[in-house]
Amino acid sequence: MKLVKIKRALLSVSDKSGIVELARTLRNHGCEIISTGGTRQILENVGIQTTEISTVTGNPEAFGGRMKTISFNIESALLYDRETDKAEAEKLNIEAIDLVVCNLYPFEKVLKQGADFNTLIENIDIGGPTMIRAAAKNFKWVTVMTSPKDYIELQTELENNEGAVSYEFRKKLMAKAFNHTADYDALIATNMDKQNGIDSLRLSFESGYALRYGENSHQSAAFYRERKQAHSLYDLNVLHGKPLSFNNILDINGAIEAIRDSKRVACSVVKHSNPCGFAEAEDQRKALELAWAGDPISAFGSIIAFNRPLTLDTVSFFQLDHEKRSKRKFIEVVIAPSVEKDALDYLQFHKNLRIIEFNINELEETKDYRYLNGALLAQDQDNVPFEQMLIVTERSPELSQTQGLIEFGLRAIRNIKSNSIAIVRQKNDAYQLLGMGAGQPNRLVATKLAIEKCRENLQPEFTGNPEDFDTFAKEALGETFLISDAFFPFADNVELAAAEGIRQIVQPGGSIRDKSVIKTCNNLDVAMVFTGTRHFKH
């Protein structure tokens, strides 16, 4: 049972790529090839001898090709138990089929092409799934193949085993076959629901593996890859360090999402899914320094993401080899599209530091799903930073000079948990998240927290007398933009911001009290810009 000689194969494929080479290998090992319609024509055209399917079924292909392989003879040749049913098969003149190579009518392809309903129906395969499932069920004796990507491995098996296939390989292909038909039927089912006005969803994941634990040590956890995604967060290339934890993966996602749309060199520093530090500059080292300075205390044990190849000059900022351990910066994960060799060698000084290569820009945009107690929420990604830049106050920021900074602030705010406030500034040629308040039930508290963090971060820049710091901080905050993820329901946020020196505010607008808020801005000489776009993140 371990090795099964392939003496007889049935080839019936919609995707013809690689089928000629596979058929030649089979023939070289003395295998009889049974084939159908277009597949048989291609093989015969290149001189590969085949047996027409009708000589096995005893019936012609009929009804425009709807009936080809479905027959007692074909399904029996695939399904009968080679040990217990041998005598009965001989009595019924059933000759075993040892291999099925079949991929299905291209329902997905014609669906994406916008085919009409009748065309969709004609591209629902019936005989193919029947053969595939029969062969997969009887994998102890039958090999089933549904993807041209596996042909080379099958050819290698045949060459290494003198025309036979191993049990382990058949078992692996069996699982692939059942997943193939499951995904195929799921796509048809959801589309037929849609044809009847029903919105349904079927998701499929694979390659799951257990994590050490979940968010907390008493919770078990696992990580899965979504099927059919060309690129997935699952594909993180871990170059060095301890295995990733559940929380690491969540924070990595938050870190790379923060830099996803940055056109300049960007760095995000994430703690508990929130970017506590975020900067864009022309120089990677400068972006890291500014992002770290956004919250040096919270940066301890953080996840740090970059959108450019990581250099030694940048990572030397962490001082991992400093003779004083207190000078070494402790971080959990560093992630970049690629890591230069000398930078990798340096980072490996920290034996537990996870060093990861991953390019966020390779990901296709997908829905944002949230599974909640037997229910599922689905939404589009938050990828519209603003609908407008409408100045609604008497004081007017110069948008031609400041719009880049505003857009940077909007990229920051959409990745900070609501209610949230981000305060951003331009420092020379760089943009920096100077302070933020995240996850507060009360927006006024979020504003207070963001301002407090700004004042804290401005302290190292101040070199004057202590009694002059308030004046210095207010002047510095006067050059910033305060970005709110949602509208201000009251004017109290404006009053607090103005009292601390902030003179420029960006918010979506849309409150029934917008006029009151705008009036307060005008009374306090504060500029306000409405974007028309909210950025809640729960």
Distance CA 520, CA 522 (A): 5
DSSP letter assigned to residue 246 = H
Contact at 8 Å (CB) between 484 and 413?
yes
DSSP E strands in 429-491: the ranges are 430-437, 481-484
CA 190 to chain centroid, in Å, comes to 22
| Cis amide leading into 442 (omega within 30) | no
Q: Single out the catalytic residue among 272, 329, 427, 474.
A: 272
Can 322 be counted among the known catalytic residues? no
Q: Single out the catalytic residue among 137, 242, 329, 519.
A: 137
CA 495 to chain centroid, in Å, comes to 41
What distance, in Å, lies between the first and last C-alpha atoms of the chain?
A: 55
Nearest CA to 254 among 368, 380, 374?
Answer: 368
Classify each residue of 443-482 as buried b or exposed e, where b means 16 or more C-beta atoms within 10 Å of its C-beta: bbebbbbbbebbbebbeeeeeeeeeeeeebbbebbeebbb
Tokens of 390: 């409408």
Nearest CA to 154 among 168, 141, 175?
Answer: 168
Contact at 8 Å (CB) between 25 and 158?
yes
Distance CA 214, CA 50 (A): 55
Can 218 be counted among the known catalytic residues? no
Q: Which residues participate in catalysis according to the annotation?
A: 137, 272
